[in-house]
Structure 1
Amino acid sequence: MDLSLSHCFVTVHDPDLALAFYRDVLGLELRNDVSSDGFRWLTLTTPSQPDVEIVLTEPHAGRPPVDGDALMALLTKGSLNGLIFRTTDLDATFEKVRASGADVLQEPSDQPWGARDCAVRDPSGNMIRIAQAPQA
């Protein structure tokens, strides 16, 4: 079986704030910006993995109101899964993210499981971890 990741979804409360963070702070490239039925979704990719698209979507998009409300409540509490990125220069990446005003949860540090990483929240409260890429 030949299987590869194509898309992953991140729920955001404000597409414009999310775009500013993921594109302008993290350096992702915008692929699509689509509006439909009063909602908007964006797809972005990393320059190093252009075939994997991160889809930023609003809680109520394509869902019944009660489900959108429940998802929004979880988003507001910071209870949704976020993303883990890898970088060749964790310290420089962290300083750029911190300088943007992102909510820092953890400065770069060595983890018990062997990784060196940091953690921040995106403008919607999703946790974003950034790990040091292994040296080649």
Structure 2
Amino acid sequence: MTISLSHVHLLADDPDAALAFYRDTLGLELRSEVENDGFRWITLSTPDQPEIEIVISQPRAGHSEEDGAAIEALLAKGELPGLLFRTDDLDGAFERVRAAGNAEIVQEPTDQFWGVRDAAFRDPAGNMVRISQA
């Protein structure tokens, strides 16, 4: 038996802003967009790992009104799990994000005490995104 990662889910209150950040700024490739019942699901992947897809959906999609509101509140606070990426050019990736102006810079490229060099941002929805040097 083998088990492998296929999808990671991420929430975004503005699908267009999320698409601009992940596709246009970070360079992920759009795999699909699905609309259903007034909501959108956007699927992207990195060129080097097309088998692992990031599915971006809206906080209220598929949830009750009460649960959707609670999820939206957590997203607005930046309290939901984010994504960690790896690159061979952290400084280049950081400069692309800074130049695009569509993310909040949380941490410039830094050598961490645990041996990783990384940077951190909040995407347009407030999700934490960390990028480390491979």
Displacement of 1:2 after TM fit?
1.0
Q: Which runs of 5+ in 1 are unaligned?
A: none
- What is the SS of the residue equivalent to 2:74? helix
Displacement of 1:114 after TM fit?
1.1
CA deviation string 1:85-127 (max 9, x = no partner)? 0000000110111111121000000112111000001000001
TM-score, length-scaled by structure 1: 0.96
| d(CA) in 2 for partners of 1:117, 1:13 | 26
TM-score, length-scaled by structure 2: 0.98
Q: Which runs of 5+ in 2 are unaligned?
A: none
> Does residue 32 of structure 2 align to residue 61 of structure 1?
no
Residue 99 of structure 2 corresponds to which residue in structure 1? 99
| d(CA) in 2 for partners of 1:112, 1:9 | 29
| d(CA) in 2 for partners of 1:111, 1:35 | 41
> Does residue 14 of structure 2 align to residue 14 of structure 1?
yes
Displacement of 1:128 after TM fit?
0.3
Deviating beyond 3 angstroms after TM superposition, the runs of 4 or more aligned structure 1 residues are none
- What is the SS of the residue equivalent to 2:76? helix
Residue 110 of structure 2 corresponds to which residue in structure 1? 109
Displacement of 1:48 after TM fit?
0.3
